[in-house]
Structure formats: C-alpha cells, structure tokens
Structure 1
Amino acid sequence: MLFTTPTQWLALAVALIAGWLLGLASHPGGRKWKQRYADERDVHGRTRKDLDARLAERDARIAELERENARLAHAAPVAATTTTTTPVAATRAPLAQSAARPAGTMRPRWFDWKNRVGANG
C-alpha cells in the first residue's frame, strides 16, 4: 500500500494544500476570461439584433408580396388589345442579301446542302 503511516498521510495532505495555495497564488484572477466572456456576450447581442432586423424585413416583404398577390387575384382581367391583320411582309421593307456571301458566288459551304456543286445537277 502506498500510504500506511499517519506521517505519510499528513505529508500528502500538506502537499495537496500547498499545491492548491500555489495554484491560487499564480492564477491571474479570471480577468482575461471575464473580458472574453463580456466581449462574446456583446458580439452575440449585436448578432442577434441584426438577425432580428433581417427577419423583420423579410416578414415585411412577405406581407407586401402576399398583399400584392391578393390584389392581383381579385383584380379584373386586363382586356386584350386588338391586333391588325396586315401581313408582316407588307409592312416591312424587303430584306437585303446577307453580306456573308457576296452576290454571284456559289461556292459550296459546309451546311449549304442546296447550293452544293453537283447536288442539283
């Protein structure tokens, strides 16, 4: 057994108490941890206020969109506008020939199936 005599038990108790007193004497008193706790508490409070403000803005926007949706659901339908029946070709000027291929050249191109040499005769 490790401790068998009362003197050994007394030495153990003195060592434990001395260690406890030395630890208390060397401890900074908790100032650092108290400051860190206060800083964290302040940051949490600011974050919570910011979150509450954003949630309030979100709820206001949702309410506004729901009011707009209800207004549009109960609104009278918009009358269709009348359209003219004149053909599009009659109202527009004729299209100019594309500048990609100069007039008079009938070289075969990659996707010009109709203009291939030998395809139509």
Structure 2
Amino acid sequence: MSKEELIDMMQKFKDAYNKKDLEKTLSFFAEDAVFINPNGEFKGKEKIRNYFKWVFEINSDQKIIESGVKIIAEEDKAVYEHILEGIVEGMKYQILALCIYESKGDKFQHVRSTYDRL
C-alpha cells in the first residue's frame, strides 16, 4: 500500500467512525487485528466490534477531529494526531489523542491509541 493509499484509508476510517457506521468502521480491520487503547486490548475483529459498539452507544456524539500534524505515513505505518470531542454526562470534552496504525495489505493489523481518560 502506498503512503497516499494509507492516508486515504485512515481518512475513510475517520469518516465512518464519525458517522457511527459500525460495519464500515470494522471493514478497515483485518480479521486478526489488534486494537489497543487506555480501555484495553481487543484482539480479533469480533472483540473490536464489541468495543466500537460500546463506544458508539455511550458516546453517540463523539467525533474525531484532525489536529496538529494530522497523519504522517511511511510504508505500512502511520501516526495520527487528532482530538476526540463529545459530551459525557452533560460535560463537553476535547481529548488530544495519538494513534499508531500498522497495515497489512489493505487492512489495519495493529492500532495503538493513547489519550487521557475522563
């Protein structure tokens, strides 16, 4: 995958996430993908599905907003600086996040995300 294709895939992932389109969001992950963030480690597409379903239910208005350096890609890896914005229990939040994506073919294989928890 070229650098441009990886950046395009990540932007399409962001768009699907912001629309809360669970199936489209999951379509970017390999069957044996691993997604790690402050909430835990999710191995395999089914566990990733359960995680995103939970996130979309409890943070229905959360969205990803590009920030800082945005996406920097090289070969099959990319770093994405962005803000998670939403409302929890009536409180508006903006959280700076940094994610590292590793792709295999045309799918995300490993995603590691770090951010402050509310």
Same fold (TM over 0.5): no
TM-score of the aligned structures, taking structure 1 as reference length: 0.17
Structure with the higher fraction of residues in strand conformation: 2
TM-score of the aligned structures, taking structure 2 as reference length: 0.18
Q: Identify which of structures 1 and 2 has the higher relative contact order when contacts are C-alpha pairs closer than 8 Å and 6+ apart.
A: 2
Q: Compare CA radii of gyration and give the structure with the larger one.
A: 1
